[in-house]
Amino acid sequence: MASATRATPDTLPAWQTLTQHAQSLQRVHLKNLFGDDASRWTNFTRQVAGLTLDLSKQRWDDDTLEHLLALAHEAGVPGAIDALLSGKRVNVSENRPALHTALRLPADAVLNVEGHNVVSDVHESLAQMERLVQRLHAGQWRGATGKPIRHVVNLGVGGSDLGPLMVTHALTDYRPKDIHPVEVHFASTMDGSQLADYLSRFNPETTIFVLSSKSFTTIDTLSNANTARDWLLGRLSNHGDVLDGSLQTRTHANPVSAELVIRQHFIGVSASPDKMSEWGIASDHQLMFWEWVGGRYSLWGTIGLPIALVVGMENFRELLAGAHAMDTHFRHAPMEDNLPVLLGLAGIWNVNFLDIRAHSILPYDGRLEYFAAYLEQLEMESNGKSVTSQGKAVNYSTCPVLWGQLGPNAQHAFYQLLHQGTQPVVCDFIAPLKRYDEVEDPDTRRHLKAQHRLALANCFAQSRVLMLGDDALEDDGPRPEHKRYRGNQPSSTVLLDKLTPATLGALIALYEHKVFVQAVIWDINPFDQWGVELGKQIATDTQAIIDGEGDLSRMDASSRGLIEAFWAAEQE
């Protein structure tokens, strides 16, 4: 991320200071940090854009933060933020900008990137997406046989799936009323199992598919797309040419042309219009985006089509506005009050100085069911790197292992390890403060609000027990070892005033920028993902061997055994 002459982070003066400082805090328990400082909540809590970030339960003190802020300055974080947001080529290995923030700039903003104002392009693509959404919401988009569309299936994977999946799930309360009912579904897995379920249940006449793929080369998505195409052609067209026996039954009395079927049942979203055309997507059903939007940062533009279909364009624009509010804060707030900077520094402190390399994401709101999965890609695909931006192997830790689940469910699954395991883990608790105000029936509202209070009580209790351990109990009599809690486990809590499109936008942008801050300090490029390439290449070779077209004897004994087991099963 930084200039070619930059020193590696572990040689920076503040890194050395922090290493020593960490030793002095080694034996200090979090409960003592709270005991010693009555203003700890105020000192370590910040608010912006409808979010409250409580970092008081991190195992740090005022001096720690001062040294971490010095580290951020020495590593060039302020300049890097400016470079990111102004469209410099921060993605050094692919020599291009990473301009997801441009996707959420307001229409009257100007961002000249290498002599061209990208904001007008962004808003033109949003307008095109809006036109498609309006046609579907008005029931005006007709399938090849003339019926209005009821089901939209997004075929995409990674960034072309997880962001839209996560947001549509989080914002289902924001469905516009009085529109033609269109249900949105997601199929990502290359084994076809999610898609097979939809194909067994939906009417092809009223189903369309969105092929979402930045590259339009991803085999997972293209294999689902080909299956969907043949399913439609087999049922609707009079000259479907690629027909699999099991999918071939023709159900429609007046079959139509294959061209019309493909035209009316597929929308493409990609940075590669040529490939979309080659596949057969009609040019006016192609939505574009740009190489300078990373896949895992792409939900803000046309990849967000499923979101706009579920919540409407107005709410989609609110999502963008919330993210933009966080971008503005990230750019202008002083480092000591800057939420993404502080969250990023907390992570650096845990990984590099306290040696905590596991990080759990725990939302206490069922609508955020896919938030952890989304962050797993965002954080680990961005920062799971071991080479600096100048191509040198790092000799310090980078991205921790990150995983999570809805907190209330995880309490009954893996919290045992959080409280009593041998692995230190840092946790992020996430919850909305307000919930269920709009439920009309008073009795149901009362019950649901009580459930919300129950969830918040659990959220606050868990971070407290992780922090205090046994001391959370006021009456702490003698207990056997297996009933003891060590505490001293750090956590952050993010509270949303309410889960709205705008606060969700701000929350996602908070994590995007946190990842960037950490990448700058670790001197790695968060915008490429070379580590996924070799697996894809070897899978292609392996598939040839499985299909009997390659040399099995070249393979290792385990791979040979697995392939032979598969062949034997096929013979049964």
Q: Which residues are catalytically annotated?
A: 381, 412, 536
Among 87, 204, 295, 322, binds ligand F6P (CB under 6 A): 295
The nearer residue to ligand F6P, 295 or 400, going by C-beta atoms, is 295
First to last CA, the chain: 54
The nearer residue to ligand F6P, 283 or 537, going by C-beta atoms, is 537
Report the C-alpha gap between 105 and 544 in whole angstroms: 46
Query: Binding to ligand F6P (CB under 6 A): which residues in 317-356?
Result: none
Give min distance, CB of 213 to ligand F6P, in A: 3
Among 6, 104, 214, 513, binds ligand F6P (CB under 6 A): 214
Give min distance, CB of 509 to ligand F6P, in A: 18
Q: What are the Cα distances from residue 383, in Å, to 1, 101, 193, 300?
A: 12, 19, 30, 21
Segment contacting ligand F6P (CB under 6 A): 146-154, 213-221, 223-231, 515-523? 213-221
Is residue 308 within 8 A of residue 489, CB to CB? The reply is: no
Segment contacting ligand F6P (CB under 6 A): 125-133, 153-161, 422-430, 498-506? 153-161
Is residue 358 within 8 A of residue 535, CB to CB? The reply is: no
Report the C-alpha gap between 462 and 431 in whole angstroms: 13
Q: What are the Cα distances from residue 572, in Å, to 131, 549, 552, 565?
A: 52, 21, 21, 11
Give min distance, CB of 69 to ligand F6P, in A: 32
Q: Is 296 in the site for ligand F6P (CB under 6 A)?
A: yes
The nearer residue to ligand F6P, 327 or 381, going by C-beta atoms, is 381
Query: Binding to ligand F6P (CB under 6 A): which residues in 219-248?
Result: 221
The nearer residue to ligand F6P, 237 or 529, going by C-beta atoms, is 529
User: Count of alpha carbons within 13 Å of 513, Cβ hemisphere only?
Assistant: 31
Give min distance, CB of 349 to ligand F6P, in A: 28
What is the total residue count of the chain?
572
Q: Is 96 in the site for ligand F6P (CB under 6 A)?
A: no
Is residue 286 within 8 A of residue 273, CB to CB? The reply is: yes
The nearer residue to ligand F6P, 218 or 286, going by C-beta atoms, is 218
Give min distance, CB of 55 to ligand F6P, in A: 30
Report the C-alpha gap between 192 and 196 in whole angstroms: 6
Of the candidates 481, 471, 570, 540, the residue with the CA atom closest to the CA atom of residue 34: 471
Q: Is 213 in the site for ligand F6P (CB under 6 A)?
A: yes
Among 48, 157, 320, 510, binds ligand F6P (CB under 6 A): 157
Report the C-alpha gap between 530 and 513 in whole angstroms: 21
Is residue 233 within 8 A of residue 241, CB to CB? The reply is: yes
Site string for ligand F6P, 247-286 (x = CB under 6 A): ----------------------------------------
Give min distance, CB of 508 to ligand F6P, in A: 15
Residue 133: in which H helix or E strand, if any?
A: helix 118-137
The nearer residue to ligand F6P, 214 or 452, going by C-beta atoms, is 214
Segment contacting ligand F6P (CB under 6 A): 210-218, 365-373, 491-499, 507-515? 210-218
Segment contacting ligand F6P (CB under 6 A): 214-222, 242-250, 433-441, 540-548? 214-222
Q: Is 311 in the site for ligand F6P (CB under 6 A)?
A: no
Residues 6+ apart with CB under 8 A from 328: none
The nearer residue to ligand F6P, 205 or 381, going by C-beta atoms, is 381
Reduced to 3 states, what is the DSSP secondary structure of residue 438? coil
Give min distance, CB of 377 to ligand F6P, in A: 7
Report the C-alpha gap between 163 and 168 in whole angstroms: 8
Of the candidates 14, 303, 62, the residue with the CA atom closest to the CA atom of residue 162: 303
Of the candidates 422, 538, 539, 428, the residue with the CA atom closest to the CA atom of residue 486: 422
The nearer residue to ligand F6P, 161 or 205, going by C-beta atoms, is 161
Among 58, 145, 160, 491, binds ligand F6P (CB under 6 A): 160
Residue 452: in which H helix or E strand, if any?
A: helix 442-468
Give min distance, CB of 203 to ligand F6P, in A: 27
Among 413, 532, 538, 565, binds ligand F6P (CB under 6 A): 532
Give min distance, CB of 160 to ligand F6P, in A: 4
Segment contacting ligand F6P (CB under 6 A): 75-83, 155-163, 515-523, 559-567? 155-163
The nearer residue to ligand F6P, 37 or 94, going by C-beta atoms, is 94
Residues 6+ apart with CB under 8 A from 548: none
Report the C-alpha gap between 95 and 142 in whole angstroms: 42
Give min distance, CB of 216 to ligand F6P, in A: 7
Q: Is 77 in the site for ligand F6P (CB under 6 A)?
A: no
Of the candidates 4, 3, 8, 6, the residue with the CA atom closest to the CA atom of residue 522: 8
| Phi/psi-derived region of residue 112, left when phi > 0, alpha when psi is between -120 and 50, beta in every other case | beta
Of the candidates 275, 466, 508, the residue with the CA atom closest to the CA atom of residue 374: 508
Q: Is 218 in the site for ligand F6P (CB under 6 A)?
A: yes
Parallel/antiparallel/unpaired status of strands 112-113 and 491-498 = unpaired
Crossing angle of helices 501-522 and 339-348, rounded to 10°: 50
Q: Can you list the alpha helix ranges (DSSP code H) found in 205-354?
A: 219-236, 258-265, 273-279, 305-332, 339-348
Segment contacting ligand F6P (CB under 6 A): 152-160, 194-202, 408-416, 438-446? 152-160
Segment contacting ligand F6P (CB under 6 A): 118-126, 157-165, 174-182, 357-365? 157-165
> Site residues (CB under 6 A) for ligand F6P?
157-160, 213-215, 218, 221, 295-296, 381, 529, 532
